Amino acid sequence: MITRRGGFLIIFGVSLELFALSFYAIRDFASFLKDLMGVDLRVFLPNIYGLIYLSPALILISTLVLTSVVISFTNYHFFTKLEFIEVRRKLSTNRCFAGDFVTVTITLENKSRFWINNIFISDIIPDTFDLVLGENFIATSLPPKSSIEFSYIVRCSVRGIYKIGPIQIVLQDRAGLFLKSYLVENYSDIVVYPSYEDVKRLEFLQKAYGSLLFGRYRVREKGHGYDFWGLRKYIPGDSVKSIDWKASARAGTLFVREYEAEKNIKMYIFVDASSSMSAGMARMTKLDYVARATVLLSYLANRSRDFFGLVVFSDGIKEYIPAGKGRMHFYKIMETLSKIDAEGPSNLSRAMKEFIMREKRASLAIVLSDLEGDPTIIEEAVKIALSHKVNVIFIAPIGPLFEKIYTEELSRAFFEVALMEYMKRREQIKYRLAKYGVHVLDVGPEDLVAIALETFLKAKARGIGMM
């Protein structure tokens, strides 16, 4: 591909050649008019015959210009090729949480024995990534058998699975007359988990307040454990090892020591991934908020060694991870959360039926849903769950609060009317579910994560879903 500068030089060289030849034509035309019609143009243009003395100089200049263009093209065509170049990309990590920083390093190597002049490299990044330090492009020259590298840092703002790439390479000759643009299909996958900021805040509070923050929410059961519970009178059949001889001697009757052990619960987090969950502001939809709450709930369950699983549903179950525990299980859930999209209608009843077929034992189900589906279907899902010893708690985002609030008075009035209608429908759903002892917790963007935390701790303290 020829550049603007190359096109100008070619037009300039050809124009000079044409001007030089036209001077000879003007001389011949003037001689023809004088011989045939007796008209001497030198009366009007005294130096008309002297123009031909400029022609050799113009021809020489045009020849030099066009020759330089040809030589430049030849060198460019034979000594500047894509196969002479190797481009490598390295990421500081290919898995991170939303809001984390990733360093990208590009290495450019010239494998040939020739200079590669004027090379431009641009690494294409996703639109949801923010370039925070450095540049994702470079313009340079490469000596033979040499390499250079440059780095830049991006902020991964939104959860998801992304590809960094392709790489655009533009090769140009030394004079800047010709260029070739290539798109190298070099991609690097990067998985962005939902934000971990809420967990970091929780860890900070835990360090600051210790057991005062979470101790009162532990599930305790009398039995064989390590923490002393109390004394009771001896019953035939009790182990002799459990007798407290000092207390028995003081009371004159046998007493045994009782201990308590912390019990674990089994929790499933139901994430509504229907199309209505895609509403919200840019880079932070209802589904993104719900994903953040799921991260926190999973972290809490993992920290307290409870069993926790994930159910992503819309018109049925889209993703299912059986209840488990451990760090690898936590990151398995994070991986699933990073790739879910909001699409399709919501049918919690069908999802619950499919869940019951897979999970036969009692459990706690925390449903994160905007409840914008059919109320009858939601009620049916609750009845199915309770009949199979699945205790359900709803954490329901209030849709309009997650969307943009306009400042104009007219738009604000419309928003308030829409919110009133929305809450009227929500109250009807809450009334229908209250008959079964199921609570619906209404949440906005500011308190969704906090209420998810409180819901888990209270459910654990009550022993809901205890194994």
pLDDT bracket for residue 329 (50, 70, 90): very high
Per-residue pLDDT at 149: 93
pLDDT of 167 over the 60 cut: yes
pLDDT at residue 156 is higher than 60: yes
Task: Measure the CA–CA gap between 308 and 326, rounded to whole angstroms.
Answer: 10
Tell me the average pLDDT across 306-322. Answer: 95
pLDDT band at 241 (very low <50, low <70, confident <90, very high): confident
pLDDT of residue 217: 43
User: Which pLDDT belongs to residue 223?
Assistant: 52
Give percent above pLDDT 70 in the chain.
90
Note the pTM of the prediction, 2 decimals.
Answer: 0.75
The answer on pLDDT for 361 being more than 60 is: yes
Angle at 130 between CA 129 and CA 135, to 5 degrees: 110
Across 246-250, 333-337, 415-419, least confident range: 415-419
Residue 216: its pLDDT value, please?
Answer: 43
Percent above pLDDT 90 for the chain: 46
Instruction: List the domain boundaries for the chain.
Output: 4-79, 82-193, 220-262, 266-462
Instruction: Give residue 375's pLDDT.
Output: 93
Q: Which pLDDT score, from 0 to 100, does residue 178 have?
A: 83
Q: Does domain 82-193 have CATH number 3.40.50.300?
A: no
Asked if the bond preceding 400 is cis, omega within 30° of 0, the reply is: no
What's the average model confidence in pLDDT over 378-403? Answer: 92
Mean of per-residue pLDDT scores for the chain: 85
How much is the pLDDT for 94? 93
What is the length of the chain? 467
410 close to 417: Cβ distance less than 8 angstroms: no
Identify the sign of the CA torsion 215, 218, 220, 225.
Answer: negative
* Domain 82-193 matches domain 266-462 at the CATH topology level: no
Predicted local distance difference test score (pLDDT) of residue 91? 96
Decide if pLDDT at 262 tops 60: no
Q: Lowest-confidence range among 165-169, 300-304, 332-336?
A: 300-304
Confidence of residue 220 (pLDDT cuts 50, 70, 90): very low
Lowest average pLDDT, out of 203-207, 221-225, 333-337, 376-380, goes to 221-225
3-state secondary structure of 206: helix
pLDDT band at 215, cuts 50/70/90?
A: very low
3-class DSSP state of 329: helix
| Least confident span in 80-89, 163-172, 325-334, 428-437 | 80-89
Number of Cβ within a 10 Å radius of residue 161 = 11
| Among the four given CATH numbers 1.25.40.20, 3.40.50.410, 3.30.420.40, 3.90.1150.10, the one describing domain 266-462 | 3.40.50.410
Q: Is the pLDDT of residue 383 over 60?
A: yes
Mean pLDDT of all residues in 352-380: 93
26: phi > 0 → left, psi -120 to 50 → alpha, else beta; which? alpha
Sorting pLDDT into bands at 50, 70 and 90, what band is 219?
Answer: very low
Q: Dihedral, CA atoms, 323, 326, 328, 331, nearest 10 degrees?
A: 70
Predicted local distance difference test score (pLDDT) of residue 364: 93
Confidence class for position 37, pLDDT limits 50, 70, 90: confident
In 376-444, where do the E strands start and end?
390-397, 440-443
Half-sphere exposure of 115 (CA within 13 A, CB side): 8
- Of 147-151, 169-173, 198-202, give the range with the top mean pLDDT: 147-151
